[in-house]
Structure 1
């Protein structure tokens, strides 16, 4: 009972502050499926077992996550054969990568983590322990690149050079380790997740506005690490929210869910990430520039939406649903083409399609399917 009271109280606090009242103009299940089908039609390469093989490999990993989440939320198995095929093709050793790269061990810890998280969902869908085994192997591989020396802890993102302790690699690791604990009950995964979170909180990567910057810089003269004031990309906020939600689910410690709510609110009320002119999530560091967003950056907002949906599903009053609905509705009306492909900015106008844009929009719609039976 106290658990439900905590969640209800948090939900009330968020709802009072949220200026958005929305409801979707289309059925999220229908819109999500249309976005996934369009992603397959436009970008899937069966011979390669991935979408858009010419762009970053990790984007196919997060596209797979959107497809798997859709099946998990709806009970559909429409794409399961495709998902199995993708995993079998992509887990093969990759020449030139550390340890051959087999089972998604990439040359960066964040790329490894995207695929490892998808393997947790593959296990959830199928009950097949081979996928859990891959996620366990990847977790250990990532953990091997934790050091206590530079910056007092943290995981390097660049495996080849053993450089750069940043937000995305460490936030994804928290979610992965906590997720393994939830599925296996093995306390050493939880211990690692808690250690990683404590380090993250103390690292300085969370700025005065309560948002996560890109990573840390080390002073070469004294060895002190400090926030590099890199962009507060939406996916950084989302990945940490996802890790906090998993820690809460693993421990029922309200501190983690409160931190997730605080971070989500910081995004929604950030004039840069959610400008008041539209109340639509915006990666300002690229969307508001002449150069625009590259493929990596086009992927970011859907990752935030996915994790915000996971947080919302934990809160009885569903305080973030209206925000997600508002973003989805604007994207559907302003950023969607006749073939159900989506552009970069969810406030429009449509600016052409790519896998990165499409998996981001699919993730937004799938986020609205999270926890539909929550009471």
Structure 2
């Protein structure tokens, strides 16, 4: 038999032995997180600079964000060369995207934004203004598709077809613009854009009566292009998460408590949802119908990343127990002997997948960052 756990609240088979080892909680969480990142990196293809080049490009953007978050949280530079290599290769023009003009400008606004946010983290880690400049270039590219002609504003998702104003593109743009403001001393340009973006999003109808966010807006009424309505499509966990990151950045920028108050309502709606948090464990609805793809498996880690950001911004850190409970449940149930994690955290390991693994890494990092 072996220890099931060396950290957190600890569920141990040999508690006396563990007490004698006296391993600090943080040290053990770092070890578990590094092991999960090393498992994630088995997907890494050095030639292309991508994690599993056979799947969607944006997954590599969130995998990059995860290892950058780990380094920022721990002060390590262990994966910095890999991060630089990834950015150097991936900033080239994307030949599979007709609109791809280099520097991560893609055919969808959300794909561009995932990479731009990772570049801001790289700038924070290195101080190299090249990364900041690319993120600014990407913000300008996305803003070109903030179209007031329909729905009174908002960023479209599909650039070639100029279609669909959805939650994720607009949430990512909010977080990107507000983050740029907070990283540039004396800025007002990005602050104004981020505040305009939030005012539009908040009134768009995508936040439903339960304080949960549906996937996007219906196509405009043919008789009035300004009229758009919530499409009542899937309530994905990442749509509940990214908006939290944007609201925390807006609060940081302005000091206005209203942004945190709104973030709390959205976070509480997830934490208290019998559908999204059955038994207190974050669950993607597609996993209940066995219909998740790598897309769906990747979403929970994105939510936990931003929930941890909100938690840190709040007095008393009210979501710490929720984050720890999810991490301990995942570690105890969904992990295999090679530090890969399944997609349903409260159930046994159900097979490896890039989306599942990057979600697990993000949850472990969220736990590592708890005070």
- Paired position in structure 2 for 1:236: 239
- Paired position in structure 2 for 1:219: 221
Aligned-residue offset at 1:271: 1.2
Q: Quick one: distance in 2 between partners of 1:196 and 1:56?
A: 27
- Paired position in structure 2 for 1:44: 44
1:338 and 2:347 matched: no
1:311 and 2:345 matched: no
Could you say what secondary structure the match of 1:157 adopts? Answer: coil
**Does structure 2 retain, via aligned residues, the 8 Å contact 1:213–1:228?**
yes
Aligned-residue offset at 1:329: 0.7
1:29 and 2:15 matched: no
- Paired position in structure 1 for 2:4: none
**Does structure 1 retain, via aligned residues, the 8 Å contact 2:320–2:370?**
no
- Paired position in structure 2 for 1:369: 368
**Does structure 1 retain, via aligned residues, the 8 Å contact 2:100–2:107?**
no
Could you say what secondary structure the match of 1:232 adopts? Answer: coil
**Does structure 1 retain, via aligned residues, the 8 Å contact 2:301–2:363?**
yes
Q: Quick one: distance in 2 between partners of 1:334 and 1:101?
A: 44
Q: Quick one: distance in 2 between partners of 1:222 and 1:89?
A: 44
- Paired position in structure 2 for 1:132: 132
1:270 and 2:273 matched: yes
Aligned-residue offset at 1:98: 4.7
**Does structure 2 retain, via aligned residues, the 8 Å contact 1:24–1:325?**
no
Tell me: CA distance 1:44–1:137, structure 2 relative to 1, closer, same or farther (3 Å). Answer: same
Could you say what secondary structure the match of 1:225 adopts? Answer: coil
| Pairs within 5 Å for 1:251-266 | 251-266=254-269
Any stretches of 5+ residues in structure 2 without a counterpart? 1-7, 12-24
Could you say what secondary structure the match of 1:299 adopts? Answer: helix
Q: Quick one: distance in 1 between partners of 2:224 and 2:123?
A: 46
**Does structure 2 retain, via aligned residues, the 8 Å contact 1:204–1:226?**
yes
**Does structure 2 retain, via aligned residues, the 8 Å contact 1:98–1:105?**
no
- Paired position in structure 2 for 1:90: 90
**Does structure 2 retain, via aligned residues, the 8 Å contact 1:166–1:214?**
yes
Could you say what secondary structure the match of 1:123 adopts? Answer: helix
- Paired position in structure 2 for 1:193: 194
TM-score relative to the length of structure 1: 0.90
- Paired position in structure 2 for 1:208: 209
Q: Judge which range, 94-103 or 247-256, deviates more.
A: 94-103
State the number of aligned residues: 346
**Does structure 2 retain, via aligned residues, the 8 Å contact 1:24–1:326?**
no
Tell me: CA distance 1:163–1:229, structure 2 relative to 1, closer, same or farther (3 Å). Answer: same
Any stretches of 5+ residues in structure 1 without a counterpart? 1-21
Could you say what secondary structure the match of 1:150 adopts? Answer: coil
**Does structure 2 retain, via aligned residues, the 8 Å contact 1:164–1:215?**
yes
Deviations along 1:141-194, one digit per CA (max 9) or x if unpaired, are 000000111001000011110000010000000000000000113211010000
- Paired position in structure 1 for 2:292: 293
Specify the structure having the higher radius of gyration (Cα): 2
**Does structure 2 retain, via aligned residues, the 8 Å contact 1:23–1:322?**
no
Aligned-residue offset at 1:316: 2.9
Could you say what secondary structure the match of 1:100 adopts? Answer: coil
- Paired position in structure 2 for 1:245: 248
Aligned-residue offset at 1:24: 5.9
Q: Quick one: distance in 2 between partners of 1:32 and 1:200?
A: 35
1:176 and 2:176 matched: yes
Q: Quick one: higher RCO (CA 8 Å, sep 6+), 1 or 2?
A: 1
Q: Quick one: distance in 2 between partners of 1:192 and 1:28?
A: 38
Aligned-residue offset at 1:30: 1.9
Q: Quick one: distance in 1 between partners of 2:222 and 2:349?
A: 45
- Paired position in structure 1 for 2:14: none
Could you say what secondary structure the match of 2:157 adopts? Answer: strand
**Does structure 1 retain, via aligned residues, the 8 Å contact 2:99–2:160?**
no
